[in-house]
Structure formats: structure tokens, C-alpha cells
Structure 1
Amino acid sequence: MTNGTQWSSWLLNDRWFTELPASLQDSLLSGMQQRRFTSGRTVFERGQPATGLYALLDGSIRFGDPGQQCHDLPRPVGKRPYWFGERALFDDQPSALDGFAEGSIILLHMPHAPIRQLLQERPALWRHFCALLGQKLGLVVPLPEQITLLPTVERVAFRLLMLTEGYGELDRSERVVALSSMASQRCLGLSGEVVERVLGELAERNIVRREGDLIHVLDTSRLRRAALHRLTEVKA
């Protein structure tokens, strides 16, 4: 359906990619492999260790969340590639969703380990992945070492946003997060008791609803406002 020359041209016409330093562009161009999946094939599974960075070139991916809901990532008509998977770079946590092909799809994939190694060797490159995730969350994403500097409530709200908005715009009115997915020492650095207390406060404000070990996010706009801090607020 496509070839290396075509997908390279798509990358070179992508705004996020073209704003990267030439060295990072070269690393992605050389490190990403084209993969094809037929309809219904699994791309990644919930609980699977961080799998890396993806660029959807053609087709649609279907995501399933802990509440057994499934949501489509829209076909990238006029928007190729569609990047996803960068959230795991920040927390190194397993996938919180299942992802499988809705029809035949083509994507590019760079495994987690080489990207993490690249970022360890060149920390200045983090800001580019912060920008990519920030486009989806609708706020500034701090550098990884800054996230635990956020106040407690803002930190928990930010973590929930990462988990619920990290795949971009999905058409659903309610988003569900497993409590176990919250546990990221790198993003939270908080005890379970503190996280439970903050979730209770968010529930009292009708931003989330608890159902056993599931957290239903009821209002992403208010959750985004709860996450705002000098490190995350978009400057005018």
C-alpha cells in the first residue's frame, strides 16, 4: 500500500517531525520499522511493557480500556503520520490499553529501549517529546525530572491526564483508568494513601468517579484545570 519513499515524505511533511533537530530526525528515520497489521490483529496489549513510539500512516487503530470500552483512533485523512506511544517514555509503565487494527493498517514503530537510550545520552531532546505529548494534553508537559515538583493535587491530575489523553482526541464522554495504572514513581512519587486522598477530593468535585479499582474521569476540562501549575500552564 505504501513504501519507504512515501512514508519518508510523510514524515518530512509532518510539522512535529520537521521541527526536530536533524540528528533526531535521522535517528527516527533509521530506527523506525514499517509494520503492517490485518484487521483485528493486536498491536499491543494492556499490561505489556512499554513498547515504544508509533506513527500511524494508514488505517485506524482501536483501543480498549479497563472498562472494556473500545474507541477508534480516526483514520489519518490529511494527517499522516499520527504519533502515539510517547507517554510511556515519561513513566516507563506498561500499556494501560489494548490496541488492535481496525481494518488493515500501516504504521512505523521504534522500540522503547533505543529511544530511552537516546534520551539518556542526549537529555536536551526530551523537550521535543514533551511538545508532542503536550499537544494532546492541552498543557505544557514538564521535563521528567520536573514532574514530581508539581504540588500533590496537580501531580495526580496531571497523571490522570497522561493516562486518559495520551492517545489524543478520542470520541468518548467518559474515560476509565485502572488504579494500578496510576502507580508511577517517576510521575507521582506519592504514597498510595496520598493518591487515594486526592482522588477522593477530585470525586467530591465531580471530576472523577470511583468504581472499585476503576477511576472514571467525568470532566477532562476540569481535570486539565486541576493540573494547571506554573510548570504546566500554557503561556499566552
Structure 2
Amino acid sequence: MTNGTQWRSWLDNDHWFNDLPAALQDSLLTGMRQRRVTPGKLIIKRGEPACGLYALLAGSVRFNDVKQQRHWLSPQTASKRPYWFGEISLFDERPRRHDVYAQDQVILLHMPQAPLDHILDHNPRYWRMFRQLLGSKLGLGVPARDEMTLLPTAERVAFRLLMLSEGYGELDRSVRIVSVHDIPSSRCLGLTPDVIERVLTDFASRGIIRRDHDFISVLDSEKLRRTARHRLTQLLA
């Protein structure tokens, strides 16, 4: 059994993968590499450039807390396998925000960034599928990359906070703490620091977030999601 055939059997029951065009499925199966990671070993290093797309097949992972004071764990049994993560970097083009470690014996499929970028550069229609993957975690539609800065100011900041706090979905949803230094993004925001600060102050006054020096705690993710709603963030069909 070739790797592609074996991996396809693992992905047979995955709704997102099975809805992809056959050519994109084949490109991912060809480009992905299997990684087996032993407990405690690093999978993603905080601050490193975007490093591609991952599919968690077995085991669980843990994330360093943004304050580096404690860890939080992924569920021992994810709601579904595979669990895809890492696609957020396709949209914000920012360095990785967390150290990600194997909590136990982990099996991953990893699609490196360079071949993934190549596929998307040559097949722009495929962006929609990755927008759907991220949108399923955020509970909102994800605008096309060249439309993100068309959102009104408050909606734009709210959407950015959702990307930062819920971009990994259920894997790190137990704690919603964001470093203020991670918010700026020319692709996602295109706003000056003064404007961002003014919006954050308004969100704090409305009980959506709490400021703690350089950190932001998301207190009400549903209110934040409602604030981010716009015609460009309607869920994709």
C-alpha cells in the first residue's frame, strides 16, 4: 500500500477533505508527509514562519500558554479525526503564536508551506476550501484575502481577535488569551496602533474583552462573533 493510498483511507470519513476537488485531494496526498512525534517533543515552535497544514490523526497536543506560565491541553479524544490545523497562517502571514508539543504519542500528516503556497498560487479557486476550513472553527465566513481590509474597523478588529483566539478551534478553546503584540497584521487589519487601541478600549467597555497590560482575555466570544458579523463574514455555502 503506497502512502497516498494509506492516507486516503485515513481521510475517507473526513467531511472537509472529501468535499475537496479531486485534483486538490491528490495534491495534498502527494505533498503530505507523515510525522510520528513522541511525548514532549516540539511540533511547532513559537515565532517560526508559517510552516504549513497539519492533520492530527492520533494522540493529542498541548500549547504553551501565551503568558508562558502554564499549558493547556487538547481534548484526549478529539471530536473527529483527522483534526486539521495550521491553515490560519495562510491568511494572516504571521509567525506561529504557540509552541506546540506532543502530549502523547502523536501521528500527524504535514503539508509543508512551500508546496501548499505553490498549489494555491496556481489554483486560486482552492482558496475557498481553506476559507471554509478556518470558517468552520470561527463560526463565521472568512473573507477572501484581498477583502479582509474592506471590513469596517470594529468588525475587522473583532474578526482578527477571533482568528487569534479560536483559529485552532477546539484544540485550544479552553483558554482565550491573546497577546496585544499579535494583533497587528497588514493583511488582516491595515489599521494604525491608535485605531486598534481605540477599538479595544470600546470592546473592554462592552465586556467583550479584558485588558491585562499586554494581554487580552476574550470574555464573551459570542458577543465578539456578533461584532465581527458583516456581509463579508457570512458563512460560506
Q: Secondary structure at the match of 2:187?
A: coil
Q: Secondary structure at the match of 2:34?
A: strand
Q: Secondary structure at the match of 1:198?
A: helix
What displacement does 1:73 show? 2.1
Cross-structure match for 1:45: 45
Confirm or deny: 8 A CA contact 2:166 2:172 kept in the other structure.
no
The correspondence of residues 110-121 of structure 1 with structure 2, limited to 5 A, is 110-121=111-122
Which is further off, 38-47 or 116-125?
116-125
Return the letter of the residue paired with 1:224: R
Confirm or deny: 8 A CA contact 1:174 1:218 kept in the other structure.
no
* Shift in CA distance, 117/103, structure 1 to aligned 2, threshold 3 Å: same
Confirm or deny: 8 A CA contact 2:166 2:173 kept in the other structure.
no
* Shift in CA distance, 193/230, structure 1 to aligned 2, threshold 3 Å: same
Give the TM-score, by structure 2 length: 0.93
Confirm or deny: 8 A CA contact 1:57 1:76 kept in the other structure.
no
In structure 2, the gaps of 5 or more residues are none
1:108-140 Cα shifts (integer Å, max 9, x gaps): 001112212221221111000000001000111
The correspondence of residues 34-113 of structure 1 with structure 2, limited to 5 A, is 34-68=34-68, 69-76=70-77, 79-113=80-114
Cross-structure match for 2:232: 231
The correspondence of residues 149-164 of structure 1 with structure 2, limited to 5 A, is 149-164=150-165
Return the letter of the residue paired with 2:182: S
Cross-structure match for 2:176: 175
Aligned residues: 234
Confirm or deny: 8 A CA contact 1:58 1:75 kept in the other structure.
no
Q: Alpha carbon RMSD of aligned pairs, Å?
A: 1.8
1:33-89 Cα shifts (integer Å, max 9, x gaps): 000110000101211111110000000011123123422222455722100000000
Confirm or deny: 8 A CA contact 2:138 2:169 kept in the other structure.
yes
Return the letter of the residue paired with 1:119: L
Return the letter of the residue paired with 1:181: D
Q: For the residues of structure 2 that align with 1:57 and 1:173, how far apart are their CA atoms?
A: 21
What displacement does 1:171 show? 6.6
* Shift in CA distance, 35/130, structure 1 to aligned 2, threshold 3 Å: same
Q: Secondary structure at the match of 1:46?
A: coil
Which is further off, 101-110 or 70-79?
70-79
Question: Percent of aligned pairs with the same residue?
Answer: 59
1:135-176 Cα shifts (integer Å, max 9, x gaps): 000111111111111000000000010011011124755411
The correspondence of residues 208-227 of structure 1 with structure 2, limited to 5 A, is 208-227=209-228
Q: Secondary structure at the match of 2:104?
A: strand
Q: For the residues of structure 1 that align with 2:55 and 2:142, how far apart are their CA atoms?
A: 20
Cross-structure match for 2:203: 202
Return the letter of the residue paired with 1:168: G
Return the letter of the residue paired with 2:64: G
Q: For the residues of structure 1 that align with 2:213 and 2:108, how far apart are their CA atoms?
A: 36
What displacement does 1:8 show? 2.2
